[in-house]
Each structure stands twice: as C-alpha cells, then as structure tokens.
Structure 1
Amino acid sequence: MPELPEVEVVRRGLARWVTGRTVEAVEVVDRRSLRRHVAGVEDFRGNVTGARVTDVVRRGKFLWMTLQDPDAPRDVPHVALMAHLGMSGQLLIEEPEAPLEKHLKVRLRLSTAVDDEGAPLPADLRFVDQRIFGGMFVADLEPTADGAPGGRGDTDLPLIPHQAAHIARDPLDPSFSVESFHRRLRERRTGLKRALLDQGLISGIGNIYADEALWAARLHYARPTDTLRRPDTLRIVEAVTTVMTRALDAGGTSFDALYVNVNGASGYFARDLEAYGRAGQPCRRCAAKGRSTLIRREAFMNRSSSLCPYCQPRPRNARA
C-alpha cells in the first residue's frame, strides 16, 4: 500500500498539473470505485462537474482536491474531492486520445491549460485501480481543530474533509508539533512501532518507513513509549523525516507496477532501504565497522518488523 512519500509524490504531481483547472466532464466507468460516495453517481457527477480545483492537499495518506463552485462569490472551496488509493489506486494525467487503461474507473476531463513555456497540458485525470480497494468521493470541508491549514498543500486555509479530521498530522506537515507528539507518545504506554503506526497519533507512517526510521534512530520496535525521553522522541521524528524526505527525492518506493506517480513513473527508493526487506543480509552500518550482523525479520502485529539485533537491542521491558 502506498505510504506517505508515495502519496506526497502524487500530490505534488497533481498540484502541478491540475490546480486552477475546471472539471468539464466526469465519466464513471466502474461504479464500485464510488461506493464511498453514498449519495450516488449522479450526485458525485453534479458536485464535480464545473468545479474548479483550488488546491491539492494531503494529511498523512489522505489526499484531496479542494473544489470551488464557479458560481460562488468568494474564492473559497466548498467541498473536497477525495481520492483513496488503497492497495493499487493510481491517479494519472493523460492526453484524452491516449489508450484507456484496462482498470480505468473514473475519468475527469479538465479545462485547457498550458505550462510555463506555453505548451498545452494533458486534459485527462484518470483514476485507475486494479484491485478496487480504493475509490473517489466528495466530502464536506470543516474547520481544523487547531486552526492550522488542513494539511500539506499550497494554500493555508484551515479546512479539512470531515473524513480526514481524525487523522493526526505527519512529520512533514509544517504544523506538526514535536512537543505535542512527545507528550501523547508517553501517554500511550505501548510499543514504539505500534505507536508509529497509529494514524491518530502520528500519520503517514507505514510498515516500510517505520522499520527504516527505527533502524536509523537505533531504537527497537518494542521500546515502551512511556520510557522515551525528549531526545529519544526527537531522534525518531528526525529519523522519520529524513527517511521520508529521501524517499520523496527518489520518487517513492515501488516494488511493482501498482505504485506510480501521475506520469506513470515508478519510484526507486527501494534500492536504498536499510532494514525493510533485507532479512538475512548484512546490516550496512555494522559492516562499515567490521561487524557481520545480519538483518533479522520478526513477527509483529500480523506482519513483520525488520531490524538489526546489534544496533537495535531488544529492551528488557519490551512492549510490542
């Protein structure tokens, strides 16, 4: 499933190609991808057709485009078009005459626009989903609880879709508070990795980047959160931020053809993973110091954790 860096790569691509354009037509190829829009296909089409995209915003793994009614007197969005990528969802920018994808679900025709050099931009925004776990739906916007912008975007409007309001801010969000996170982390009294995966505590971190950040911070996944000092919390936040920033620079992590950016290109951060997926291979940090420690894969919450047993020793009071 795409994690925060992958969704942010998609957000940046959409922001570049879609912001400021009007949705001129909506084609629903497969109604199953609108199952989260409980009012039905015609209501979805009515909300989206003719609306102008004012921003593309992300909080954690939640992604949405703010839409403004063309008849509205103020330049304020009235609803959000949310896109849930699920396991295999893709948002692709295509030329209208380009061949239709096999698993195309929703097709939006955008108004004419040009890039900075005057070249015409592609006019199709296509939602493609092989496994149909993702989908699109329209959501109402409401004020954020803290008065800060709803998430990572190009505007500072303190609005967020109701369906994303319960999601915590992520470390790449300018409004993320390390102090607040540290306080809530210690109150949680659980294992560190379990806390990192809790989207109500800190968002956007999945299994891959949790393992990578814990390896970078030299912390075991079962470290009790109530034993963490501020320097420990700062170290894990910095590690998460660094790992995700590196992943963003590499275009995300692609293990197959299901994750691509809006141009259809894969990310290549998988080449730089230090722990995840490297069980049985040498820990590069240990190897650099002449040690022969192998990365270990351990069962964790019906999935697994990858770690270096030397760099990340298991605490005596482990709490997975």
Structure 2
Amino acid sequence: MPELPEVEVVRRGLEKWVRTRRIEAVQVLDPRSVRRHLDGPLDFEQTLTGCTISSVVRRGKFLWLGLDGLDVPAVLVAHLGMSGQLLVEQPEAADEKHLKVRLSLEEQLDYPDELRFVDQRIFGGMFLSPLVATSDGLPAGLGSPEPAIPQAAAHIARDVLDPNRSAEDLYLALRRRTTDLKRAILDQAVISGVGNIYADEALWQAKLSGSRKTATIRRPEVQRLNDALIDVMTRALAAGGTSFDSLYVNVNGASGYFARSLNAYGREGKPCLRCAENGVASVIRRDAFMGRSSYTCPVCQPRPRR
C-alpha cells in the first residue's frame, strides 16, 4: 500500500496539473470504485460536473481535492488502497486496462486534460465526503490552510511531516497505548502515514525494537524515533517514494527509487550496514508480523527481555 511519501508525490503532481481547473465531465467506468459514494455513480458524476478543483490536500495516506461550486461543503476523497493510481493524461491517450473513473478537465495549454483513477485490485476508490472542523482548530493537512477535514479522515492523527505535530505528541499518544511499539506507530490514530516499510526503516535508524512495549518507552527514545521517522520520510519523498512493482507510480506514470536506499526492509540475510561499519558481524532477520514481515538487526535493535 502506498505510504505517506508515495501519496505526497501524487499530491504534488495533482497540485501542479489539476488545481484551479474546472471539471467538465465525469465518467464512472466501474461502480465498485465509487461504492463509498452512497448516492450512486450517477449522482457522483452529476455532482462533480461543473466544480472547480480548488486545492489538493493530504493527511497521512488520505488525499482529497477541494471543490468550488457545491451547494454543501464537501471534498473529493481519493483513496489509493493497494493499487490505486491517479494519472494525468491527454484524452487521445489509450485507456489503461484498469481505468475506473475519468474526469475531463477544462482545456489548458500544454496541460493534460484528463484525470484518471486506475485501480487493478479495487481496494481503493473515490467518493465525496462532507467537511468537518478539525478538533484543534489548525489546518487539516498539507495543501490547505483551512481548519476543515473530510469526515472520512477526521479519525486519523496528524502525520509524520505535519508541522503542527511534535515528538511530545507522539510520546503521549504512545503512552496511552498498551501494545508493541511497531503496532503503535502503524496505528493511524497514533501517528498517520506510517506503513510497514517505513516503520521498519525508522525503527532501524532509531536503534529500537518494534517489540518494545509502549509502556516502557522513554521521552529521549521517542525523540530519536520521531527524528528517524521524519528523516526517512523526507529522504523517501526526495527519491519519489518506494516502488517494488508497477502499481505505485506518480501522476505521470514514473516509479520512485527509494527502494535502493532501504537499510532494513527486504534485506533478510544481508549484513546490517551499521554493524558492518562498526566491525560487527550481524545480518538482518525477518519475522512474521501481522500477516506481513518485520526486518530488524538482532544486534543493534535488541529485543526486550520478556
């Protein structure tokens, strides 16, 4: 599933290519991709037609388009799920095999005139969500100064790169949980935008075991983890995100290359780079975790004693 850096790459592309443009027509090619729009595909098409995209906003993995021209304040939420893609294309470009929704935009010189939602596995989707006030009165996410958030995203915490969040916020959220550290930072109500890949990378960088109990975590350790999360996400964003297959691409269809810089995730049986620099022989291990995998160094990320 795309994580914060991948979704932010998409947000930036959409902000460049579609913000301020009027939606001239909407075509739902697969009703399953608008299943969360309870009034149905026809209402989805009719409601969006004539609206202008005023902003492109992200909190964590949630992405939404602000809309001018609606009778009731609402936004268009685009959830990428496991394989969703938002692509900007010229109308004459061939339809993608798994094209689900097409938004035709007003013509603009040298700009693609279609926004396409493509989704192979159909775990993602698009839907309209009403706006509600943020609980703290601060901007909802990156891309808008407004203290209003889609009702569908109101339950998630501020994300790793949100300037209105601090290490102390993370510490307090962790101490309110009674679980393992990795499970906690994957909880979008604790801190949003972190998925399995970047959790492993940040924990490795912070020299912390994901098996630590949140009740034992100390403020200096949380500061170290918070710094690592920010650094890992920032570097991944600069690299265009992490792509392991063709399902994650930016709005122009290009893949990210942060996978080349991973220190822990996917490196089972390979030397721990930090230990190797210090002359210590250690290899990355893989353990089953919530139906997925965790990658850690047994030397510099020692497990807690039970």
Task: Give the TM-score normalised by structure 2.
Answer: 0.97
Aligned ranges for residues 109-188 of structure 1 at < 5 Å?
109-114=104-109, 120-153=110-143, 155-188=144-177
Alignment: residue pair count: 306
Q: CA deviation at 1:302?
A: 2.3
Counterpart Cα distance in 1 of 2:186 and 2:297:
20
* Aligned partner of residue 263 in structure 1, secondary structure: coil
Aligned counterpart, 2:2: 2
Counterpart Cα distance in 1 of 2:255 and 2:105:
24
Question: C-alpha offsets along residues 255-287 of structure 1, whole Å, 9 cap, x if unaligned?
Answer: 000000000000010111100000000111111
AA aligned to 2:221 is: D
CA contact under 8 A between 1:47 and 1:138: conserved in structure 2?
A: no
Q: CA deviation at 1:180?
A: 2.1
Does 245-254 or 27-36 show the bigger shift?
27-36
Structure 2: 5+ residue stretches without partners = none
Counterpart Cα distance in 1 of 2:138 and 2:13:
24
Counterpart Cα distance in 1 of 2:301 and 2:127:
42
TM superposition outliers: structure 1 runs of 4+ over 6 Å? none
Aligned counterpart, 2:246: 257
The answer as to 2:108 corresponding to 1:106 is no
Percent identity reads: 63
CA contact under 8 A between 2:129 and 2:152: conserved in structure 1?
A: yes
Question: C-alpha offsets along residues 79-110 of structure 1, whole Å, 9 cap, x if unaligned?
Answer: 11011111110000001111111111000011
Counterpart Cα distance in 2 of 1:159 and 1:313:
42
Counterpart Cα distance in 2 of 1:187 and 1:140:
30
CA contact under 8 A between 1:222 and 1:314: conserved in structure 2?
A: yes
Q: CA deviation at 1:201?
A: 0.8
Q: CA deviation at 1:41?
A: 1.0
Q: CA deviation at 1:24?
A: 0.6
CA contact under 8 A between 2:81 and 2:123: conserved in structure 1?
A: yes
Does 294-303 or 305-314 show the bigger shift?
294-303
Counterpart Cα distance in 2 of 1:2 and 1:209:
11
Q: CA deviation at 1:233?
A: 0.8
Question: Over aligned residues, Cα RMSD in angstroms?
Answer: 1.2
* Aligned partner of residue 235 in structure 2, secondary structure: helix
Does 192-201 or 226-235 show the bigger shift?
226-235
Aligned counterpart, 1:12: 12
CA contact under 8 A between 1:197 and 1:205: conserved in structure 2?
A: yes
Question: C-alpha offsets along residues 206-231 of structure 1, whole Å, 9 cap, x if unaligned?
Answer: 11000000000000011111222211
Counterpart Cα distance in 2 of 1:131 and 1:185:
33
Aligned ranges for residues 38-77 of structure 1 at < 5 Å?
38-69=38-69
Question: C-alpha offsets along residues 160-219 of structure 1, whole Å, 9 cap, x if unaligned?
Answer: 000000011111012113222211211212211010011111111011000000000000
Counterpart Cα distance in 1 of 2:97 and 2:27:
15
Aligned counterpart, 2:213: 224
Counterpart Cα distance in 2 of 1:246 and 1:228:
26
2:260 to 263, 268, 271: 271
CA contact under 8 A between 2:170 and 2:226: conserved in structure 1?
A: no
2:76 to 74, 81, 102: 81
Question: C-alpha offsets along residues 224-262 of structure 1, whole Å, 9 cap, x if unaligned?
Answer: 112222111111011011001110011000000000000
Counterpart Cα distance in 1 of 2:161 and 2:173:
18
AA aligned to 1:305 is: S
The answer as to 2:85 corresponding to 1:95 is no
CA contact under 8 A between 1:66 and 1:78: conserved in structure 2?
A: no
1:291 to 280, 284, 299: 280
The answer as to 2:236 corresponding to 1:241 is no
Counterpart Cα distance in 2 of 1:174 and 1:54:
22
